[in-house]
Structure 1
């Protein structure tokens, strides 16, 4: 205690300023013993240079961690958006764009199916009305049988007196003016009623070719598809195959030609000696065309290949014997490269074909507003001789072909049981709806053309080269 008093006295003697800044503490230490602490502020240093204790450093670290967590939870108000959030937003936007595109494609497919469904409904209604009309129409009256005449002495019968229902046949002159050749010797014997009935049966017009041998007549039926070959690779998914009905040397009339139309530069023309070599896949000739081919609208006629030049309305006549271009000419105002194609697409704006009357082109123009235009072409110069504008939209049909000056259109390129749904006769400049069954065996028919050489339809159906037999009606006399 005496020591403490001495210290206090010394402090008082050192000056009044020291009394204001000195301090004495008393307290227990960690072991419980009493401890005195005497502190005096330094006159030269404002603060101590040592660092904070470990407790303060730990507190600062926790505060920093808390700030980071708060920044992440609040969306980066202090440190900016995290990189993971930007990537997630980009992925969501990409998925949204992809979903919108797929929705547009599905909407287009839905509209196409709705159009086909409406067309099927219309055809079913037409067929129903036709069936009702046939049911209500009365049956034709039966021709009465003529009773037999009294027997003659030689065992025969006497010809019936008066005019019989078939008397006009017996008296009709033939083409040379001779009436005798039309009377069969059997008419003088036997029962006249039986003979008249037999003549009436043979006189019924049959759905066959006309008497002049041209085979012209309105199309009645199309047979089942016959497969001749399948293409080897993807280049043969679409294509055109054809035969020259008036072949010119050095190639024979049995020669079959083929073009695979998938590729950026379609220029190869394959030739096969006959159908058997085509089915085996052994071409005897390969020609490289000087200009690229557009789509599946090419045809053969009189020793030349006729086709549309790629990305243009230019028609080309390629001479096979000289292997060079013999003529070229623009088809006036014709759409090209996807402006007015068939419903399956494929840049089928111009479709060339050959029938009994010559060379034809089926296409459309901006003036026709997408309706089918038919033009008769000069096979030598490719000049348009005459044109017909229909009221049937080209994009609403899958394909078309021409037989005897009549254009027929195909309703669908993919439906297994499609129909030929429209016919336009250039002789009368009249069109009408029809319903002739047509089978797409392989569900993607990109080419249908009339082959005059064999009087069949040639088609290219999803890698497969097929043909169809035809049945035409007899030409009606004017």
Structure 2
């Protein structure tokens, strides 16, 4: 009996302990579930808040984008209107220049081509009446006062190149590109005009070495060019005889571009009534364009000047009567302008220096070559061959 009682008591105690254990476990699980529910509610509230903030941000972004689109549209309209006004001002400036410039001895070829193309009727008239003008320069005391007219002849070759005429003959020479060993000769400007858009229609001339950049000049049957290579060499070549006459090594520190907007031109050559000129940069740290007078036969350097004309933003230069005219532009091609003038004879004072603009055409000048017999510039502008006829006046002899 006593044993049975003990067994019953033990069983009861075990059942009570198990019940307490399971009750505690249930309480623990219930508390954990409640904590999880609290965290889920918190996460829901935070998610709802983030969603609302995202919606507000989307609305604000949409509103801002609409405002930016409207502002962009307004700005585009203003820019277009400004471009129209700028073109109108440029046309007015060209008109004023034409009306105020002297027109003596001008023929129909002096008319400015405003649209960049000739009509068929005008083309036929110009072919009949256009003539190459003889020399009007009798002494070297003149300075450019304005661009009298511009004539767009045709489009031949690539965006960069050189074309020029020998002042002592009617022959025209075309240098297509910025380097090569072959140039093309035409018997006259008229023959060049009558051909198609292929430079190969001219007579090819194989040079003894490669030329580079726009540093070329032709005078009295001789070609002067900058030789491609590690050194800056000037080559004199007899075109008629097909013979290399001389090569001169220039005493420059390094091969750097003389014009920052035409980096292919490490040195430029120019010919006027006073002879052969060389434009170059003496080194990378040299900010200005240097000028040298060269003997056209021996290629010896006779004298050197610092033009004080900066290389930065320069695209080309030409020399007329011993006066250097440096033409400037912008990285994004705009309207070219003469902004720096240097006279080796110190006869052109700063007050009369012509800081004039070129009529706006296609892009930027790859080359500008002055012909002293015709008083006009042979220009290469984005593949277009253009003639600028100049108006001059006497220098102030001070």
When normalised by structure 1's length, the TM-score is: 0.50
Assess, with a 3 A threshold, how the Cα gap between structure 1 residues 322 and 223 changes in structure 2: closer, same or farther.
same
RMSD, matched Cα = 2.6
1-side partners of 2:215 and 2:357: how far apart?
Answer: 23
Deviations 1:374-433 (A, max 9, x none): 000000011100010132222331111100000001121764433211100101298847
Partner of 1:239: 161
1:280 lines up with 2:194 in the alignment? yes
Q: Distance in 1 between matches of 2:370 and 2:137?
A: 20
Corresponding position: 1:389 with 2:324? no
Cα distance between partner residues in 2 of 1:417 and 1:445: 10
**Equivalent residues of 1:237, 1:262 under 8 A apart:** no
- The 8 Å contact of residues 137 and 372 in structure 2, kept in 1 or not, is answered as no
Gaps of 5+ in 2: 1-134
Equivalent-residue separation in structure 1 for 2:148 and 2:333 (angstroms)? 16
Alignment of 1:297-376 (within 5 A): 297-311=215-229, 312-333=231-252, 335-336=254-255, 339-366=256-283, 369-376=286-293
2:191 is paired with a residue whose SS is helix
Higher normalized strand content (fraction of residues): 2
Correspondence for 1:454: 374
Q: Secondary structure at the match of 2:265?
A: coil
Whole-angstrom CA distance in 1 between matches of 2:285 and 2:220: 31
1:418 corresponds in structure 2 to: 336
Change (3 A) 1:431 1:391: farther
Q: Secondary structure at the match of 2:296?
A: coil
Q: Deviations over 1:46-70 (max 9, x none)?
A: xxxxxxxxxxxxxxxxxxxxxxxxx
- How many Å apart are 1:271 and its aligned residue? 0.7
Distance 1:295 1:393 in 2: 19
Secondary structure at 1:292's aligned position in 2?
strand
Runs (4 or more) in structure 1 with deviation over 6 Å come to none
Alpha-carbon distance in 2 for matches of 1:444, 1:212: 28
Cα distance in structure 1, aligned partners of 2:284 and 2:263: 22
Which digits, 9 at most, give the CA deviation of each residue in 1:427-475, with x for residues without a partner? Answer: 1298847521212411131111211232101110001110101011124
> Do 1:412 and 1:418's aligned partners in 2 also have CA atoms closer than 8 Å?
yes
Q: After alignment, is 213-222 or 303-312 more displaced? A: 213-222
Aligned counterparts, 1:146-225, within 5 A: 213-214=138-139, 216-225=141-150
Relative contact order: is structure 1 or structure 2 higher (C-alpha 8 Å, sep ≥ 6)? Answer: 2
Distance across 1 between alignment mates of 2:159 and 2:139 = 34
Structure 2 residue aligned with 1:228: 153
Alpha carbons 2:309, 2:341 under 8 Å: kept: no
Higher relative helix content: 2
Pair 1:309–1:431, CA change in 2 (3 A): farther
TM-score (norm 2): 0.60
CA distance in 1, matches of 2:345, 2:220: 24
Shift of 1:245: 1.5
Point out the structure with max Rg over C-alpha. 1
Deviation at 1:215, TM superposition (A): 6.5
State the Cα distance separating 1:340 from its structure 2 match.
Answer: 2.8
CA contact (8 A) 1:258 1:271 kept: yes
Residue matched to 2:170: 254
